Amino acid sequence: MATQGGRGDRFLRVVLRLDQAGSAAFIVVALAAVPAFMWFGSVRLVLWTLGVALMAYALALGLLGVLMAFGLTRLASRNDQLTAQVWRSILSYPASADRPAPTARRRPGSPGERG
């Protein structure tokens, strides 16, 4: 049974979106922190502030991971699953109806060719 848009679905969708955005932002913050570490190398307060901020951010992403596992476990315990449409909406992929179906090209003389 595939779920279309239940309450657990919305919870999991929000958690997955937050995790996706948070992970992308964490990479940007971490990459921006390296030049700051080099620029303010001798300023101890800046180093501690950036370090604590990055650790808090990592802790928040870890908590989102736990919530994601909780949401997926809740769906699995109900013997339910997310549809491909829900995964595409979370990952921002276009719907399969918008894309043309891939065509299989066969070489002449390959097995399965009719002629």
Q: Residues 61-104: pLDDT tens digits? A: 999 999 988 888 888 888 887 777 777 777 766 555 555 555 65
Q: Can you tell me whether residue 26 is helix, strand or coil? A: helix
| Percent of the chain as helix, strand, coil, to the nearest 5 | 70, 5, 30
Q: Does pLDDT of 55 surpass 70?
A: yes
Quote the pLDDT of residue 63. 93
Quote the pLDDT of residue 81. 76
Residue 19 CA to residue 69 CA, distance in Å, equals 12
Boundaries of every domain in the chain? 2-93
Q: Can you tell me whether residue 101 is helix, strand or coil? A: coil
Q: What count of residues does the chain have?
A: 115
Which amino acid is present at 21? A
Quote the pLDDT of residue 49. 81
